[in-house]
Amino acid sequence: HREPPPGTEAYIPQRFPDNRIVSSKYTFWNFVPKNLFEQFRRIANFYFLIIFLVQLIIDTPTSPVTSGLPLLFVITVTAIKQGYEDWLRHKADNAMNQCPVHFIQHGKLVRKQSRKLRVGDIVMVKEDETFPCDLIFLSSSRGDGTCFVTTASLDGESSHKTYYAVQDTKAFHNEQEIDALHATIECEQPQPDLYKFVGRINVYHDRNEPTARPLGSENLLLRGATLKNTEKIFGVAIYTGMETKMALNYQAKSQKRSAVEKSMNVFLIVYLCILISKALINTVLKYVWQSEPFRDEPWYNQKTEPERKRNLFLRAFTDFLAFMVLFNYIIPVSMYVTVEMQKFLGSYFLTWDEEMFDEDTGEGPLVNTSDLNEELGQIEYVFTDKTGTLTENNMEFVECCIEGHVYVPHVICNGQYIFKEELFFRALCLCHTVQVKDDDSVDGLKKNQLSRRSCIYISSSPDEVALVEGIQRYVLGYTYLRLKDNFMEILNRENNLEKFELLEVLSFDSVRRRMSVIVKSSTGDIFLFCKGADSSIFPRVKEGKIDQIRSRVERNAVEGLRTLCVAYKKLTAEEYSNAQKLLQNAKLALQDREKKLAEVYEKIERDFILLGATAVEDRLQEKAADTIEALQKAGIKVWVLTGDKMETAAATCYACKLFRRNTQILELTTKKIEEQSLHDVLFDLSKTVLRHNGSLTRDTFSGLSTDMQDYGLIIDGAALSLIMKPRQDGSSANYRELFLEICRNCSAVLCCRMAPLQKAQIVKLIKLSKEHPITLAIGDGANDVSMILEAHVGIIGKEGRQAARNSDYAIPKFKHLKKMLLVHGHFYYVRISELVQYFFYKNVCFIFPQFLYQFFCGFSQQTLYDTAYLTLYNISFTSLPILLYGLMEQHVSADTLKREPSLYRDVAKNALLRWRAFIYWTFLGVFDAVVFFFGAYFLFDNTVVTSNGQMFGNWTFGTLVFTVLVFTVTLKLALDTHYWTWINHFMIWGSLVFYIIFSLLWGGIIWPFLNYQRMYYVFMQMLSSGPAWLGIILLITVSLLPDVLKKVLCRQVFRGTARTPELKSLSFIPSHFTA
Amino acid sequence: ASPEETRELESDGTGVGTGTGTVSGSGAALGPSAAPLPPAPAWQPILTAGTVLPAFFIIGLIFIPIGIGIFVTSNNIREYEIDYTGTEPSSPCNKCLNVSWDSTPPCTCTINFTLEHSFESNVFMYYGLSNFYQNHRRYVKSRDDSQLNGDNSSLLNPSKECEPYRTNEDKPIAPCGAIANSMFNDTLELYRIDNDTRTPITLIKKGIAWWTDKNVKFRNPTGDGNNLTALFQGTTKPVNWPKPVYMLDSEPDNNGFINEDFIVWMRTAALPTFRKLYRLIERKDNLQPTLQAGKYSLDIAYNYPVHSFDGRKRMILSTISWMGGKNPFLGIAYITVGSICFFLGVVLLIIHHKYGNRNTSADIPN
């Protein structure tokens, strides 16, 4: 069955991969080189490697250990982490590759390891087994050639989906029969889209012409999915190993980078420039200073012969490199590790939050990427889906309107139905893709028949379930039973079984916004039932009480109900066979199948007779209004993006307080554009908005925006596409700018009638606008995935099984967004920004004295501190307190943040990492460094600092500076800490104690394997000197003084109008809570 | 309206619905049962007006007296300094200015001086050098600590760091390196001139180095017997030294590597202007000051050339208090910082009263 018979098209043997899945990155052999390569591709690691190599090659002031050891530590930790992850992947791969698979060889069932599977092999899969590769479904043990599959591991949807065997092969039920099958399959090259597949099977019966059958995604069983409710199936492998759709979907999503990371990189570059300029200044000064030979080479300090002979430029270059090495600690290795650990560990605080745990579903928040934690504190735009996100997505059938008469549940059931009504209910029972959940046994079906209410309907659309259930429950006449052998069985109100042959399903898509079925009744009449959005039905209706129904639909929409229109048409046998032919051709097409299908649908779905409309209510999620209000107070602009119609969506927006009563609504809809040109509408709107612009911005900052004039914009998909459409004359950019300008001045925007891709377009438009705001998209369905992927932070709410993997964060309910952004996001941001600033600060403090010392040691690159101190400063003496701060800090209590959403504005737009803050920290660092160095300098300058008259040397000098440094830097952090727990106390004081103990130990012994003993007893000698103690205390006090003063002054004087947002927030609270 | 919007992406296939359920599956979620609670808040040392204001006053109140104490102590310290470089033509040491290492006999000069005040307690005699970069990197590392610690293999095979002072005429130098090679070798002698009679003042040469240096860090090589000459066999003296290391002093416990002058020199100074302890002058009895006011003369065996690098040489006599030698900086700094704190405390208090009345505290409600 693998080779085609002679005479078919030229067959080019193709190399197919075997069925091995390789998700691991490394093998045992290439782990070390490949992992190192990967790691050194990071700029920072590469920089440290270069520094390390320079230290190895040239004669540098510090030993290679000082940078080698931290680098080794970082690299090892990362390698262990990645190695462990890869080991897990290997294990998973092996388990998957070695699991046994039944497949058929020469008519017999053989058990083999999964990895030995090849394309073309026929595989047998039993119930509850997962498919070993992508299979074309040939036959199943179920007579109708269907099987049920759950794709929970692929897209997270746990419902059972029905797949269909190829018509011509579904009769083969055992190994021998299936082995006799002779067929070729043509299919597209492997593609990652799980829901698309186009192929063709040619089945050869003896010597006859082959029969060609189209293959679609309904015939393709995907690797990773599990067979359910079906005893066994046979399938032929078409994509194996790394070509399966599952494997193709493994590809990582594009990396999202946070604003903090970007700032951090900018600061790094600034520091790199500082570093280089420092090294350059020192090199130049060194050669100026050395120009007098007695300075370059005094009699007491001669150079070696090779040194003397070295070329001047080479010497200068070496000196430059040596200075670089000396000052390289200004860019700390450990910062990257700390930031990564902070993010990774910090994300657990989100998942552990009990308040965000949802009792109903038993789920808490999920963090899929910890890289973006701090972005949650920077959100400026929230794009939210309506259905299922703002609303419960728990539909309830409210009413239906047939021929202009309104029927409310419980009332409908009495009286006789006229023909149209009967047809309407039948239409609702037939025109859907609802499945009846059938629990293992055949008894289930019987039970259904006996007691109508026990059946469970499953559908991808909750509306359909609501409709079918509503009809069953309230109309008491029509119950959809099941689909059997292409016959839809319904019970009518006389409890008689009616059978309709299901001829075609013109399935739903978001462009058409409708679906149709073609059924043949037992009397032989062929009907086409269509159900869809009013906008897509009305234009296709040729008769019916359009006006009455339309007005009803519009009324319902205003009340926030979801409406659907139902229409039908009767087909003659001829019309049907035409339609069938067209459909068959389109389905068989290998290329552009969708496009062709759409054309055919367009031809078939016309000239309807309107039956009526339905209304379904979708309740708001709990606290949705409260959440939206809080987000708006926090200065976040909330946009609702929905596929719903304008009136429904607007009603929801009012209900959830996105629009308030005093909100002036601006409309940018197709209707308006029809009246005026797009150009005029846009300019009018912008004029309206900008008139109040001045007062608006001022009020926004006062934090009390409730009583100002605010605007809400409503735009629909068609208008949006007009705005987005690129024009030849280039004026589209103009429209876009204008549109953005309007949006910027609106507190709330509602985009209705949006296609999924348009949602992503909107997000992209805002994201790339000139302020580069940080966006968050929240949605629960597959149609929100594109927008979630596009936004900076994606969140998936309740029903997000399908795309939960695509989101960065998942929360159970919309109301949790409030805490996630206002509390966790705020904290994450404050923590990481302090962490980054503090890291730079402490390294300026660390290295700047070193720089100053060069002026006093003849620019000879002499280090101020001992090697051990240079190495351990960032690794151990000052690392843990800041990490803990990064995890635990709560500058304001969580409750306060929740109560006062306006505090969120304080950190908006990366406020704590602006240049102002950065320069403040840097200058603080420089100031402290100057205090340390010159304090020690004046203390030591040509005088005695011991009470026994003995003198201290350069190492004592350095140790004194270092001691002051460690204490100052740690105490500075203690001053910044607002949330103290015993761990904070332990870490901060523990670090200082550790430093002292280490120094005592380091200087306490003649270390046997070191070739220098310069630190021997230096620390003890220093501590035995009174002036050194006094000096240390004095210098610590002086270095901390300005920061303390600044904090107190800001709090006292600039109360309310604080320059520094962090402090504003501190001062802001009392005014609210002492009142 | 379109109720089907939630399934827009998936239902594009043909055939009857590829329906996906509204029945919710259970996603992977971390239950709260395993959630460790964040630790409870502990003692909170947080900056508030309530804590900072008293802190400023307390710092002020503590620092000012300490500063005054240090300042007074520092002022009570007697210190006398003579520059004997001899750059001025009038200086008695001018003739020795361009002395070289190997001039024999050494150039000597005598400088007379008068102490206005008597030095009551023990007097410490220092030599001071200026413009001498003992902290130059090439210089600092030019030593071999294992050799100085008495390691026999390093004695004969000194570290490469000692280059170019590692070997001389194919013999290892002991002690090797630039530091040792440039050891200060002026001899200073102090006389009291009383009615034209020169009474030598006893200068004690022990106790000038750190105890740990002398007893642990620096050790003579070990071997058979205590004969240093034999122990240092196979090595040669540093180039600039007139005598080998085992002839630095006549006393065996102050000879070789454990010679205190040598140890003092080996502790490299932090700054280019530095002083090093040279000798101690102990107070003999309680009735007389150590050095009475009056005339003294300093005899110098001028061996150490500093003129070539614009250096200066000084001799310093100083008494020492509990806080070391004369150092006005610390006292003044303490007084200044204390006053600033006090002043700031007052200013803040005013501000606090002026602005703080609206809200009595700036505490964070935690």
pLDDT in tens, B262-291: 999 999 999 999 999 999 999 888 888 889
| Of the candidate ranges A698-707, A814-823, A941-950, the one whose mean pLDDT is the lowest | A698-707
Q: From the list B20, B207, B329, which residue is nearest A161 (CB)?
A: B20
Is B324 part of the contact surface with chain A (CB cutoff 8 Å)?
yes
On the question of pLDDT at B1 being above 70, the answer is: no
At residue B209 the predicted structure's pLDDT band, cuts being 50, 70 and 90, is very high
CA nearest neighbour of A795 among A774, A778, A782: A778
A397, A864, A944: best to mutate for the B interface, most B CBs within 10 A:
A944
A521-546 average pLDDT score? 83
Q: Which residues of B touch A783 (CB under 8 A)?
A: 5-9
On the question of pLDDT at A159 being above 70, the answer is: no
- Whole-angstrom Cα distance, residue A635 to residue A422? 53
| Of the candidate ranges A45-54, A78-87, A94-103, B350-359, the one whose mean pLDDT is the lowest | B350-359
Is A146 part of the contact surface with chain B (CB cutoff 8 Å)?
no
Rg of the Cα trace of chain B?
35
- Whole-angstrom Cα distance, residue A299 to residue A293? 10
Distance in Å from the first CA to the final CA of chain B: 49
Q: Which residues of A touch B304 (CB under 8 A)?
A: none
A167, A195, A460: best to mutate for the B interface, most B CBs within 10 A:
A460
pLDDT digits (tens, 9 = 90+) for A501-517: 888 878 777 667 788 88
At residue B361 the predicted structure's pLDDT band, cuts being 50, 70 and 90, is very low
Q: Would you state the pLDDT for residue A590?
A: 62
pLDDT digits (tens, 9 = 90+) for B314-350: 999 999 988 888 888 999 999 999 999 999 889 888 8
Position of tokens 């007097």? B123
Q: From the list B13, B145, B280, which residue is nearest A1012 (CB)?
A: B145
A999-1006 average pLDDT score? 91
CA nearest neighbour of A360 among B63, B195, B24, B239: B24
A783-810 average pLDDT score? 66
User: How many other CB atoms are there within 10 angstroms of residue B231's CB atom?
Assistant: 21
Q: Would you state the pLDDT for residue A850?
A: 93
- Whole-angstrom Cα distance, residue A716 to residue A724? 12
User: What percent of chain B is predicted at pLDDT more than 70?
Assistant: 83
Q: Would you state the pLDDT for residue A992?
A: 95
On the question of pLDDT at A1073 being above 60, the answer is: no
Q: Which residues of A touch B340 (CB under 8 A)?
A: 1041
Is A100 part of the contact surface with chain B (CB cutoff 8 Å)?
no
DSSP H or E run through A577: helix A573-588
Q: Do B43 and A980 touch (CB under 8 A)?
A: yes
What tokens appear for A895 in the block?
């409750």
Q: What is the SS3 assignment for A664?
A: strand
- Whole-angstrom Cα distance, residue A147 to residue A167? 13
Q: How many CB pairs under 8 A join A and B?
A: 475
On the question of pLDDT at A434 being above 90, the answer is: no
Q: Which residues of B touch A1013 (CB under 8 A)?
A: 145, 149, 217
On the question of pLDDT at A986 being above 60, the answer is: yes
pLDDT digits (tens, 9 = 90+) for A265-320: 888 889 999 999 999 999 999 999 988 888 888 888 888 888 888 888 998 998 99
Bond into B252 cis (ω within 30): no
* Beta-ladder partners of B124: B280, B318
At residue A354 the predicted structure's pLDDT band, cuts being 50, 70 and 90, is confident
- Whole-angstrom Cα distance, residue A11 to residue A7? 10
Is B111 part of the contact surface with chain A (CB cutoff 8 Å)?
no
Residues 6+ apart with CB under 8 A from A753: A535, A642, A643, A644, A645, A646, A716, A717, A718
Burial class of residue A808 in the structure, from the number of CB atoms within 10 Å of its CB (0-12 exposed, 13-18 middle, 19+ buried):
buried
On the question of pLDDT at A202 being above 70, the answer is: yes
User: What percent of chain A is predicted at pLDDT more than 90?
Assistant: 15
Q: Would you state the pLDDT for residue A137?
A: 86
Residue B36 Cα, gap to closest chain A Cα (Å): 7
pLDDT digits (tens, 9 = 90+) for A846-900: 999 999 999 999 999 999 999 889 888 988 899 899 999 999 888 888 888 888 8
Q: Do B135 and A594 touch (CB under 8 A)?
A: no
On the question of pLDDT at B130 being above 50, the answer is: yes
- Whole-angstrom Cα distance, residue A157 to residue B24? 8
Q: Would you state the pLDDT for residue A104?
A: 81
What tokens appear for A543 in the block?
């008769």
Q: What is the SS3 assignment for B167?
A: strand
**Per-residue exposure over A571-607, b if at least 16 CB sit within 10 Å of its own CB, e if not:** beeeebeebeebbeebbeeeeebeebbeebbeebbee
On the question of pLDDT at A3 being above 50, the answer is: no
Q: Which residues of A touch B272 (CB under 8 A)?
A: 856-858
User: How many other CB atoms are there within 10 angstroms of residue A671's CB atom?
Assistant: 11
DSSP string, B72-135: HHHHH--EEEEE-S--STTSGGGGGTT--TT-SSPEEEEEEEEESS-B-S-EEEEEEEES--TT
Q: Would you state the pLDDT for residue A1054?
A: 52
- Whole-angstrom Cα distance, residue B341 to residue B345? 6
Q: Do A195 and B15 touch (CB under 8 A)?
A: no
Q: Would you state the pLDDT for residue B276?
A: 94
Residues 6+ apart with CB under 8 A from A550: A534, A538
Q: Which residues of A touch B323 (CB under 8 A)?
A: 945, 947, 1026-1027, 1030
Position of tokens 């068609």? A718
At residue B25 the predicted structure's pLDDT band, cuts being 50, 70 and 90, is very low
Instruction: Give yes or no: A59 in active site.
Output: no
Q: From the list B25, B210, B272, which residue is nearest A152 (CB)?
A: B25
B176-235 residues touching A, CB cutoff 8 A: 178, 181-182, 207-210, 212-213, 216-217
Q: Which residues of A touch B78 (CB under 8 A)?
A: none
A620-644 average pLDDT score? 86
CA A1051 → CA A781, A925, A1045, B348, B365, distances in Å?
Answer: 47, 22, 10, 11, 15
On the question of pLDDT at B191 being above 90, the answer is: yes
Q: Would you state the pLDDT for residue B180?
A: 93
CA nearest neighbour of A932 among A974, A970, A963: A963
* Beta-ladder partners of B229: none
- Whole-angstrom Cα distance, residue B278 to residue B189? 11
A903, A942, A1012: best to mutate for the B interface, most B CBs within 10 A:
A942
- Whole-angstrom Cα distance, residue A758 to residue A721? 8
Q: Do A1037 and B363 touch (CB under 8 A)?
A: no
* Beta-ladder partners of A531: A515, A566
Q: From the list B11, B275, B280, which residue is nearest A951 (CB)?
A: B275
Detail the residues of A annotated as belonging to a binding site for ATP: 385-387, 464, 508, 531, 562, 642-644, 753, 759, 783-784
- Whole-angstrom Cα distance, residue B107 to residue A944? 30
pLDDT digits (tens, 9 = 90+) for A1034-1056: 999 999 999 988 888 777 655 44
CA nearest neighbour of B238 among B305, B308, B185, B302: B185
Query: Cα torsion at A865, A866, A870, A873 (round to 10°)?
Result: -90
CA B210 → CA A58, B121, B213, distances in Å?
Answer: 35, 21, 5
On the question of pLDDT at A430 being above 70, the answer is: yes
Backbone phi and psi for residue B273, each to the nearest 5 degrees, phi listed first: -105, 120
Q: Would you state the pLDDT for residue B41?
A: 67
CA A434 → CA A162, A460, A801, distances in Å?
Answer: 11, 8, 19
Q: Do A1049 and B351 touch (CB under 8 A)?
A: yes
Burial class of residue A496 in the structure, from the number of CB atoms within 10 Å of its CB (0-12 exposed, 13-18 middle, 19+ buried):
exposed
A373-392 residues touching B, CB cutoff 8 A: 387-388
Q: Do A940 and B270 touch (CB under 8 A)?
A: yes
**How many CA atoms lie less than 13 Å away from B188 in the CB half-sphere?**
30
Residue B263 Cα, gap to closest chain A Cα (Å): 11
A675-703 average pLDDT score? 62
pLDDT digits (tens, 9 = 90+) for B134-155: 999 999 989 999 999 988 888 9
Burial class of residue A619 in the structure, from the number of CB atoms within 10 Å of its CB (0-12 exposed, 13-18 middle, 19+ buried):
middle
What's the one-letter identity of residue A994?
F
Q: Which residue has the higher pLDDT, A28 or A780?
A: A28
CA nearest neighbour of B178 among B192, B164, B199, B157: B164
Q: Would you state the pLDDT for residue A856?
A: 93
Q: Which residues of B touch A949 (CB under 8 A)?
A: 122, 124, 208, 277, 280, 318, 320, 325
Q: Do A216 and B10 touch (CB under 8 A)?
A: no
At residue B47 the predicted structure's pLDDT band, cuts being 50, 70 and 90, is low
Q: Do B280 and A949 touch (CB under 8 A)?
A: yes
Q: Which residue of A has its CA nearest to B307?
A: A294
DSSP H or E run through A213: strand A211-215
What tokens appear for A132 in the block?
């070993």
Most confident of A43-52, A354-363, A424-433, B199-208: B199-208
Q: Do B351 and A756 touch (CB under 8 A)?
A: no
- Whole-angstrom Cα distance, residue A36 to residue A82? 11
On the question of pLDDT at A692 being above 80, the answer is: no
CA A183 → CA A137, A188, B179, distances in Å?
Answer: 13, 17, 92
Are A904 and A826 spatial neighbours (Cβ–Cβ below 8 Å)?
yes
pLDDT digits (tens, 9 = 90+) for A825-851: 999 999 999 999 999 999 999 999 999
A134, A319, A385, A928: the active-site residue:
A385
- Whole-angstrom Cα distance, residue B144 to residue B142? 7
Residue B273 Cα, gap to closest chain A Cα (Å): 6
DSSP string, A522-545: TTS-EEEEEEE-HHHHGGGEEES-
DSSP string, A1019-1050: HHHHHT-HHHHHHHHHHHHHHHHHHHHHHHHH
CA nearest neighbour of A475 among A421, A390, A396, A412: A412
- Whole-angstrom Cα distance, residue A733 to residue A730? 6
Q: Would you state the pLDDT for residue B331?
A: 92
pLDDT digits (tens, 9 = 90+) for A38-51: 888 777 788 888 88
Number of H-type helices and E-type strands within chain A = 39, 33
CA nearest neighbour of B85 among B103, B99, B73: B99
Q: What is the mean pLDDT of chain A?
A: 79
Are A637 and A732 spatial neighbours (Cβ–Cβ below 8 Å)?
no
Is A1071 part of the contact surface with chain B (CB cutoff 8 Å)?
yes
